[in-house]
Amino acid sequence: MLRYLTAGESHGKALVAILEGMPAGLRVDIKKIDQELARRQSGFGRGLRMQIEKDKAEILAGLKKDVTLGSPIALLIENKDFSIERLPKVTCPRPGHADLAGLLKYGFGDIRNVLERASARETASRVGIGAICKLFLTEFKIRISSRVLSVGGESSAVGMKKKILQAKIKKDTVGGIFEVIVKGAPAGLGSYVQPDERLDGRLAQAIMSIPGIKAMEIGLGFDYAYRFGSLVHDAIYYSKAKGYFRRTNNAGGIEGGISNGQDIIIRACMKPISTLLKPLDSVNIVTKRAKKAAIERSDICVVESAGVIAESASAFVLTDALLEKFGSDSLKDIKENYQNYLKRMR
Ligand code: EPS
């Protein structure tokens, strides 16, 4: 079983992650991890924190001469801004953030105790983990990419940029929709035999747990609701050269909770960031009087970054599902099993 844990506050000393279950024998190029971390930090509409941080990963355990040992991998990303002990108390919860619900849940008297961990800065750890999973998937020629489809309802590059600039001028924020595409995944990952083995359910958990994601769909997604069955299911064909094949991919590469060999296509909606420079109505948690929500340094639009994080989340799920199917100790053994499987499929 592949699993991971992350720890770290947004303005604490560092973000850390432990990944357990990665097989022995995988070469880990740290530059590739840093490239993914840099991708997460970029995109039009990011805030000032991204000018302070230059996220770099350090691997503390689990590798020898850059190759995995099969033991847990420990990853560290230092924060340049680690001012947590000096930062002021926050007393007016931001609508849309974890602030109020977290405060009530844990019984704190300072919202900072919530927001430091609820911050999307945590996703740097997930991207670090995802980058290692991407290196593993590359060994099987599985590639994951993402693209922004729309921002604030605009889908042209110019329109999206304009929307972000508009939000900036209005001291507002804006969300959007991104798409993740997985190419090269074989048929047979995930299973219908138990609910928690279904690949679509696993991807949904991984992606919906990214801060700010409010909806996701696979393939045709919500559009399935508007069409007849005869028009949406991907008819099956066979040829000697191609084997089984389809002319459409409305299922988004997953049928019955199992990958079917087509591209896996996921779309998700990232809500507008909930820290507003022109804040909404809120309540002071000490006086219980009406007060505008707190203003924290933040971003205007993070849809592009959310796509990169979702790539990582998908990479983790697919690595887990691949290890489940083909074995999990040694990369060499797994590759052999995989080749035998592909031979049978042909
Ligand atoms: C983020 C770091 C944070 C925010 C943002 C994401 O840094 P700071 O709070 O110091 O500006 O820019 O956090 C949020 C969106 C949030 O809701 O907390 C990062 O590294 O991605």
Q: What digits encode the pLDDT tens for the residues 86-114? A: 999 999 999 999 999 999 999 999 999 99
Average of per-residue pLDDT across 38-42: 97
Q: Please report, for the chain, the start and end positions of each structural domain, with discontinuous segments joined by +.
A: 3-345
What pLDDT, in 10s, does the model give residues 182-230? 999 999 999 999 999 999 999 999 999 999 999 999 999 999 999 999 9
Q: Is the pTM of this model over 0.85?
A: yes
Q: Express each pLDDT in 245-273 by its tens digit.
A: 999 999 999 999 999 999 999 999 999 99
Average of per-residue pLDDT across 279-288: 98
Q: Does 3-345 carry CATH code 3.40.1190.20?
A: no
pLDDT exceeding 90 applies to what percent of the chain? 98
Q: Tell me the CA–centroid distance for residue 124 and ligand 1, in Å.
A: 10
The predicted model gives 326-346 an average pLDDT of 95
Contact, 142 vs 318, CB < 8 A? yes
Q: What is the 3-state secondary structure (H, E, C) of 4-55?
A: EEEECCCCCCEEEEEEECCCECCECCHHHHHHHHHHHHCCCCCCCHHHHCCC
Check whether 45 has a pLDDT greater than 90: yes
Q: Kindly give the distance from the C-alpha atom of residue 239 to the centroid of ligand 1, in angstroms, as a whole number.
A: 51
Residue-level pLDDT at 289:
98
pLDDT over 90 at 135, yes or no: yes
Q: Which atom of ligand 1 is nearest to the CA of 302?
A: 15
Ligand 1 pocket residue status of 79, Cβ below 6 Å: no
Mutate to test the pocket of ligand 1, among 9, 10, 302 (most ligand atoms within 8 A of CB): 10
> What is the CA(299)–ligand 1 centre distance, in A?
7
> Using a 6 Å cutoff on CB, does residue 173 contact ligand 1?
no
Q: How many CB atoms lie within 10 A of CB 58?
A: 14
Q: Is 49 in the pocket of ligand 1 (CB under 6 A)?
A: yes
Of the residues 6, 80, 81, 299, which should be mutated to test ligand 1's pocket, given the most ligand atoms within 8 Å of the CB? 299
Q: Which atom of ligand 1 is nearest to the CA of 46?
A: 12
